[in-house]
Each structure stands twice: as structure tokens, then as C-alpha cells.
A and B are shown apart, each in its own frame.
Chain A
Amino acid sequence: DQQVKQNSPSLSVQEGRISILNCDYTNSMFDYFLWYKKYPAEGPTFLISISSIKDKNEDGRFTVFLNKSAKHLSLHIVPSQPGDSAVYFCAASEGPNRGAQKLVFGQGTRLTINP
């Protein structure tokens, strides 16, 4: 069963506008959520994370929002830049010692930023 879902396989956004990527999860035991960015032929790189005790975390142009009651999180990128074009994966984990816990990933959303 798919515990982490990204229902939009792709998203196209104009440069300078806001990109919003969505992610839903079903496992209420998840307590830590992350976004990874992936370019072709490379491994994923960490972008931003959020603990379940928060509802928002911001890092520069990137903001992650968490709605626990809806089991939904979103990643906002503003303003979007051409270099943001990549596949974005949402991931979740549960339990203490987060760096030791396995991540459950969504299927990814391919973001294309148009000049």
C-alpha cells in the first residue's frame, strides 16, 4: 500500500511564480517529513524537512507546510527559478533517532520551470 502519495506526476510553472507541490500520507505514526530534489543521473539531495510538532518550516525560497489533521504537506517555492526544474520527492519517517530510520517516499513530481 502506498503510505506516501504525490498525486501530481508533473507540474509546469512560469519562472518567478510560486510552485506548490503536494503530498499526502496515510500512516498517522509518521512524525517527520522531508522533501528531496533529484536531477537525472544523480541521487536525491535533501531540501527541507518538518517535524510533526510544527506546521511550517521555512528556508529561503522554500517553505514546507504540514496539516496533520488532513495528513497533507506541501512544498512552496517562491520565486521559482529555472534551476528548480527537477523531480521532487516527499518522504516520511517515524520513530526516534531520525537519521537511523528508514524513509518512505512518494512517487515524485516532476517540476518544470519555464523561462
Chain B
Amino acid sequence: GEEVAQTPKHLVRGEGQKAKLYCAPIKGHSYVFWYQQVLKNEFKFLISFQNENVFDETGMPKERFSAKCLPNSPCSLEIQATKLEDSAVYFCASSLQPEQNEKLFFGSGTQLSVL
């Protein structure tokens, strides 16, 4: 597709439940990024992929968070045993060419609310 598609748009989970978010990057894009935006503040980098390989995971919390980008499937971000502080908007972005940082296309985000 011609846009980064994120599903679901909204997700509500009770504390301790699992949350799984999906991202379909633009077809042909090699890099996928996940960012977390808490309380409409700055975007915090979580993880990036080059195709199905983890490229940079320096922002991923060591516990509870995991992500995958498998061939022919949407990428996913999974949070085990959600906590209240995980409430945020999670944005996925993709890019085509590594030399062109401005060509980073963002999805509309998934609003995760942990109650």
C-alpha cells in the first residue's frame, strides 16, 4: 500500500494483560521503526528493523516488550503484562532508502490505554 497502516487504532487493556499492535509498512520499504509517544510529548524510539532483521533495539525496554517483522506479514509490537505507564500512542514508520531520512513515513498510530 501507499501508506503505513497501523491496527488497531485504539486498544484498551487491563493492567497485566497482553497487548499486540500491528504495522504494515509501505510496500517496498526496507526499514521499519517503532516510536512511543506518551502524553503527546516527544517520541521515544523503541526499535527498528531492516527487513526482518532487528537493526537497532537500543530503545526497547528489556522486559515485557518484543517486536517482529516477518516476511509477508505485518510487523508487530507486543507488550506482555501491560502496566499503566505503557499507556501511549505507538507509531510505526517506514523508509525506502537509508540515504534519505526525510522519506520516513509515519502511520496514524495505535492509542494504547492500560486501565
Contacts and interface: CB of A to CB of B under 8 A. Distances in A.
Interface of A: 2, 4, 32, 34, 41-46, 48-49, 87, 89, 91, 93, 97-108
Chain B interface residue bracket vs A: 20 to 34
Interface in B35-51: 35, 40-45, 48, 50
Contact of B45 (A41, A43, A45, A103): A103
Nearest to B50: A100
Given A34-B102, A43-B106, A100-B55, 19 more contacts: A2-B42, A41-B108, A43-B91, A45-B106, A46-B104, A98-B99, A99-B99, A99-B100, A99-B103, A101-B56, A102-B33, A102-B45, A102-B56, A102-B59, A103-B45, A105-B35, A108-B40, A108-B41, A108-B42
Nearest to A48: B102
Contacts of A89: 42-43
A102 B103 CA distance: 13
B42 A4 contact: yes
Interface in B13-54: 31, 33, 35, 40-45, 48, 50
